[in-house]
């Protein structure tokens, strides 16, 4: 009986791995991108594994007593491998999966039935091997539970840091202002060069008319978590580590080893030394943890990083129930299950966006910070705006173009606030994407729409991120057309901090 439960335990851990897989190996990619404790979610996942294992065991136990065990084992052997392949397909290369899940399922089912009907000895050997494998998989379950317990001990760094000047009534600030806005995944091609005819972006057009636009900005990476520290330090980061004590170390291209990175090694420290009050409102990265030493005021958030349908704002009961519900939906209709996950991602991203926008505008309204960095989650997928309804959406049916319109609206609110400040004529404003629209990443996900396919010319990738720089007092449009590395934004910031004019 113990052996059978171990087999059920292992199978349950594999079935649910799609919900907790990002916690394995220490969960660094999750820990670095959430500002809350993961302990309740880890415990919920362990309970899910145990509950599913118990259900499988209780189903098989009476079947064995009724003499139907061999048939039940055959049914499980027929169904579990195809189901597991379907569950783990998001972890495998797209080129490997194309057209192969269904093909494998057909071959597997036909082959196993053929063995049972025509080659009974081979069938028995196969089933004995499968039984041994199922028992061995129990070790994976034990390892998974141990990993979840380890991640549960992690304590997040600070989510917020409030400067004295950021609250209460303060005298008007008289100091040059630098505002650096990063719209995640903002494409130059889609924003300006090949904008959809029915997409209106008046605020980007207005800013372009009084700024310098870079039509051939060259990306410095593919992933935000490497691009951001590259921009902050002025050196290309191609790898990083984030340990259980929230210490961040990076590997610079062309250098040996990993180097600890804190606020002291960034443009924020240079700004502080020059007398600037520094402030950040950001998404996805633990700004208030890593760079705290060089930030006077800080807030960061992210509600939508988990792979499974769980959230820190959900009840414990909900975090237990949702992955199990996802499992049953996968059995009924994997397409419907994927759409439900996508809808949940949209709802979580909407919470993130509204939280970020509120804190960003509140910071700008105080008009007390001098060096401001805003990392906004739009137009990055999932898409939370509907141009048709002229409102936010709670379901997974909008496109990248919808999120572009939302980014334009956010920019409009930022510009309105900045231009109302007496410091506007002494303001340097940089608006950029960290990378372009990564169509090859999204084209095989539930978020992808027909409008996305048409706008991207069937998922043709244009690598140029958008970049616009407005210098103090600038009122005319300028264009830089030659290739211009995004890393040079760091140089422009350093020049602005020093009060020097920037030459592009």
444 band by pLDDT with thresholds 50, 70 and 90: confident
Average pLDDT over residues 255-280: 97
**What is the spatial distance between Cα 315 and Cα 129, in angstroms, rounded to a whole number?**
41
Which tens digits make up the pLDDT trace of 39-52? Answer: 999 999 999 999 99
4 band by pLDDT with thresholds 50, 70 and 90: confident
For 241, 257, 325, 394, 461, the CA distances from 226, given in Å and listed in that order, are 11, 16, 35, 30, 20
Q: Among the listed ranges 62-66, 294-298, 314-318, which one has the minimum average pLDDT value?
A: 62-66
Average pLDDT over residues 365-386: 98
Which tens digits make up the pLDDT trace of 381-397? Answer: 999 999 999 999 999 99
Q: Kindly tell me if the per-residue pLDDT of 95 is higher than 50.
A: no
Element (H, E) at 211: none
Residue 209, burial from CB neighbour count under 10 angstroms (0-12, 13-18, 19+): exposed
What pLDDT, on a 0 to 100 scale, did the predictor assign at position 184?
Answer: 98
What pLDDT, on a 0 to 100 scale, did the predictor assign at position 327?
Answer: 83
**What is the spatial distance between Cα 372 and Cα 271, in angstroms, rounded to a whole number?**
10
Question: Strands 371-376, 278-283: parallel, antiparallel or unpaired by DSSP?
Answer: parallel
Q: Among the listed ranges 65-79, 294-308, 323-337, 442-456, which one has the minimum average pLDDT value?
A: 65-79
Q: What are phi and psi of 283, to 5 degrees?
A: -110, 145
Q: Kindly tell me if the per-residue pLDDT of 93 is higher than 60.
A: no
What are the structural domains, with CATH classification, of the chain?
A: 2-152 (no CATH), 175-497 (3.40.720.10)
Q: Which residue has the higher pLDDT, 388 or 129?
A: 388
What pLDDT, on a 0 to 100 scale, did the predictor assign at position 63?
Answer: 67
Q: Kindly tell me if the per-residue pLDDT of 11 is higher than 50.
A: yes
What pLDDT, on a 0 to 100 scale, did the predictor assign at position 30?
Answer: 92
């Amino acid at each position: 009986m113990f052996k059978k439960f171990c087999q059920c335990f292992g199978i349950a851990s594999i079935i649910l791995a799609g919900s907790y897989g990002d916690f394995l190996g220490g969960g660094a990619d999750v820990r670095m991108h959430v500002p809350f404790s993961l302990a309740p979610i880890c415990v919920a996942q362990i309970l899910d594994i145990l509950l599913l294992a118990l259900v499988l065991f209780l189903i098989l136990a009476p079947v064995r007593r009724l003499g139907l065990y061999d048939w039940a084992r055959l049914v499980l052997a027929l169904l579990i491998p195809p189901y597991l392949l379907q569950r783990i397909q998001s972890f495998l290369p797209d080129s490997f999966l194309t057209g192969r899940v269904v093909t494998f399922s057909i071959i597997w089912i036909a082959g196993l039935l053929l063995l049972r009907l025509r080659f009974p000895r081979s069938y028995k050997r196969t089933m004995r091997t499968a039984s041994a494998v199922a028992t061995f998989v129990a070790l994976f379950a034990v390892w998974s539970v141990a990993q979840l317990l380890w991640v549960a001990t992690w304590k997040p760094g600070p989510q917020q840091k409030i400067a004295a000047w950021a609250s209460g009534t303060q005298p008007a600030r008289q100091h040059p202002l630098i505002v650096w806005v990063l719209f995640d995944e903002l494409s130059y091609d889609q924003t300006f060069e090949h904008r959809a005819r029915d997409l209106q972006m008046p605020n980007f057009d207005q800013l372009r008319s009084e700024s310098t636009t870079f039509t051939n900005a060259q990306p410095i990476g593919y992933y935000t978590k490497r691009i951001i520290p590259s921009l902050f330090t002025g050196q290309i980061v191609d790898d990083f580590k984030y340990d259980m004590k929230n210490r961040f170390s990076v590997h610079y291209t062309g250098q040996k080893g990993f180097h600890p990175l804190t606020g002291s090694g960034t443009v924020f420290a240079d700004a502080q030394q020059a007398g600037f009050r520094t402030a950040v409102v950001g998404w996805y990265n633990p700004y208030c943890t890593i760079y705290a030493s060089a930030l006077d005021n800080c807030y960061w958030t992210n509600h939508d990083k988990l792979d499974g349908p769980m959230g820190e704002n959900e009840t414990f009961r909900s975090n237990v129930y949702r992955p199990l519900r996802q499992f049953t939906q996968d059995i009924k209709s994997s397409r419907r299950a994927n759409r439900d996950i996508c809808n949940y991602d949209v709802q979580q991203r909407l919470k993130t966006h509204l939280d970020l926008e509120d804190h960003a505008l509140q910071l700008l309204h105080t008009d007390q910070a001098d060096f401001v960095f805003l990392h906004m989650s739009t137009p990055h997928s999932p898409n939370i705006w509907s141009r048709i309804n002229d409102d936010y959406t709670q379901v997974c049916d909008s496109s990248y173009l919808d999120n572009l319109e939302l980014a334009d609206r956010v920019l409009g609110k930022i510009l309105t606030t900045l231009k109302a400040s007496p410091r506007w004529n002494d303001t340097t404003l940089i608006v950029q994407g960290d990378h372009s629209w990564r169509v090859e990443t999204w084209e095989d996900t539930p978020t992808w729409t027909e409008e996305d396919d048409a706008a991207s010319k069937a998922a043709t990738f244009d690598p140029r991120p958008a970049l616009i720089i407005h210098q103090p007092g600038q009122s005319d449009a300028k264009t830089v057309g030659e290739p211009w590395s995004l890393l040079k934004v760091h140089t422009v910031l350093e020049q602005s901090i020093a009060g020097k004019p920037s030459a592009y």
